[in-house]
Amino acid sequence: MSNELETQPEAGVIALVGGVLTDVQVLIKQQLALFQHQIKRELSHALEPGVFVAIGLSAVVIGGVLLGGMLVHFLSWIAPVLPLWGYYGIVGIPVAALGGILCLVGIRKFKNFDIPSVEPAQELKEKV
């Protein structure tokens, strides 16, 4: 009878540990599924505005190229002193300089960009 008392607590502890491990596995699977769902939801929210921004930027680029060419030909018509390539330089150099400055500002802002912490991963660490 004393043997039965010793084996029952060990069996109970093993079953308890097994249940805890099963619960941890289920919790990890649920947290990963939640994280995946949140990522998909955020991407779907960003997709529609991203398409409009891409189409808008392409229209701005095309319009900018046409307006730049128009400005070059307008300058050559008003003051026909330089060859046409000179007017392209007069228009192109400030535009390229402005673009370079904007790129440098954007790079600096990206370097200072702080990625927000991922909440599901933190919750998972706390629960485990």
Cα–Cα distance between 29 and 124 in angstroms, integer? 10
* pLDDT value of residue 1: 47
- In terms of pTM, does the model score above 0.95? no
Residues 6+ apart with CB under 8 A from 35: 118, 120, 121
Mean pLDDT of 21-25: 89
Cα–Cα distance between 27 and 19 in angstroms, integer? 12
Q: Which two tokens stand for residue 94?
A: 């400030």
Give me the sign of the Cα torsion angle 69, 74, 75, 81. positive
* pLDDT value of residue 76: 93
Chain mean position to CA 114: 12
CA-wise closest residue to 124 among 53, 5, 16, 25: 25
Confidence check: pLDDT of 121 > 80 = no
Cα–Cα distance between 62 and 70 in angstroms, integer? 12
pLDDT in tens, 55-90: 999 999 999 999 999 999 999 999 999 999 999 999
Confidence check: pLDDT of 46 > 60 = yes
